[in-house]
Amino acid sequence: AETVTRGDDGVVGVAGIPVTRLAEEFGTPAYILDEDDFRTRARAWRTAFGPDADVFYAGKAFLSRAVVRWLDEEGLNLDVCSGGELATALSAGMPAERIAFHGNNKSVEEIRRAVEAGVGRIVLDSFQEIVRVAHTARSLGKRQKVQIRITVGVEAHTHEFIATAHEDQKFGIPLAGGQAAEAVRRALQLDGLELIGIHSHIGSQIFDMSGFEVAAHRVVGLLKDIRDEHGVELPEIDLGGGLGIAYTSADDPREPHEIAKALTEIVTRECEAARLRTPRISVEPGRAIVGPTAFTLYEVGTVKPLDGLRTYVSVDGGMSDNIRTALYDAEYSVALVSRASDAEPMLARVVGKHCESGDIVVKDAFLPADLAPGDLVAVPATGAYCRSMASNYNHVLRPPVVAVRDGEARVIVRRETEEDLLRLDVG
Ligand code: LLP
């Protein structure tokens, strides 16, 4: 986060609050989220894309009512991908027309709620869904704005599980073999639907812009085919999210204004070549907005040196609050934040308290050799896909999210309690 400082005593502070105080007041583990940093990043995206484009924050990265209000205030729209995310957005007062509804298998009930609420767009992901949404909209006497998500056949250079535009995966309708063109044909025929554009999302944690370039080229190619076949120029294209952030110092992310400039230039150039009016562009960053804004604060419980190997440092959370290391081999860093130390660095592995050896938070890290139980450590860049993918494995309670701003801290998602767990257990 932006407002992190380290005092003379070695204690790290965020937004003017020492982490030792945060740990005392809110307990550990806890996600500490810097609200100003979040707002600054959201605004940077908004400003970079300007009034002729739309930025949809991808709620899957992390969503809570406070976040929805910040987005609303900063002029961003919101991408939701389930009934639960939709409910959160609506309950926090996000205007429905600024919500996009995603997902490859939305239930009929979810579709009905979205149409009824008046969401700004539903992103269609299959032939069945084209019919389902059209039918639902008609039965409610409405015409629903939709986009069709296509897969452009790009290999994004990222982990296999988070790449989404190559052909052999579950999302979208393939451009190859004329399927996307056929989907457009059907959508244009159904009066429950107003087809406003084409959507493409190529993956996540991407640094190389060339994938977006190919995607934009192919999406514009489809717009041209649609114009030639149907005589309509679709007014919008959505290029998805997926921009990478720095988890360790090895990563070198692009700034929103560079991304906006690159994407706008590509689309404009491609449209000029195809003699099309340049459509309104939208993007859906999640990680790039919320990822860097939070860190996880843990307390060290045990320190176990294994001769000739490394030292295992157990913290009071683990794969239940950050599954990304186990699932994607993600890399994180870690630092001692509750005191100064001039001890030699030791090779450490930060692990959680769960009952499996894959429960690793930080695979390889150097921590001071005098690290001891009771020390606080922080793992940066855990704002995206950590709380939102948290689980109750081993009946461990999910940590709170504490927002800090101008010397004040407040809980925006509270810590789970044993009562919360037992409430669901009705057997
Ligand atoms: N739009 C669509 C249609 C998406 O599927 C996603 C992410 C986004 C936008 C936002 O992508 P972002 O800007 O956050 O990269 N759990 C994985 C990431 C899964 C991303 C799924 N879709 C992780 O922890 O890395």
Can 355 be counted among the known catalytic residues?
yes
Best mutation site among 284, 327, 361, 389 for ligand 1, i.e. most ligand atoms within 8 A of its Cβ? Answer: 284
Banded model confidence at residue 68, pLDDT cuts 50, 70, 90: very high
Predicted confidence at residue 165, as pLDDT, reads 64
**pLDDT tier, 154 (very low <50, low <70, confident <90, very high otherwise):** confident
Residue nearest to atom 12 of ligand 1 (CA): 242
Residue 234: both structure tokens together:
């679709």
Cα distance between residue 241 and residue 382, in whole Å: 18
* pLDDT of 364 above 80: yes
**Is any ligand 1 atom within 6 A of the Cβ of residue 125?**
no
Summarised one tens digit per residue, pLDDT across range 242-251 is: 999 999 888 8
**Model confidence pTM above 0.90:** yes
Q: Which residue has the least CA distance to atom 23 on ligand 1?
A: 385
Is 277 annotated as contributing to ligand binding? no
Q: Closest Cα to residue 389, out of 36, 22, 1, 59? A: 59
Closest residue CA from atom 19 of ligand 1: 162
CATH code for 35-290?
3.20.20.10
The residue whose two tokens read 């027309």 is 97
Q: How far apart are CA 9 and CA 253, in angstroms?
A: 32
**How far, in Å, is the centroid of ligand 1 from the Cα of 12?**
30
Residue 314 has a CB neighbour count (10 Å cut-off) of 21
Q: Across the chain, what does the average pLDDT equal?
A: 96
Calculate how far, in angstroms, residue 95's C-alpha sits from the geometric centre of ligand 1: 23
| Ligand 1 atom with least separation from CA of 242 | 15
pLDDT for 22 beyond 70: yes
Q: What is the CATH number of domain 4-33+292-423?
A: 2.40.37.10
CA distances from 422 to 37, 387, 395 (A): 36, 20, 10
Residue-range domain boundaries for the chain: 4-33+292-423, 35-290
Are 284 and 278 within 8 A, CB to CB? Answer: no
Ligand 1 pocket check for 284: Cβ under 6 Å: yes
135-146 pLDDT per residue, tens: 999 999 999 999
The angle subtended at Cα 395 by Cα 390 and Cα 399, nearest 5°, is 45
> 189: CA distance to ligand 1 center in Å?
31
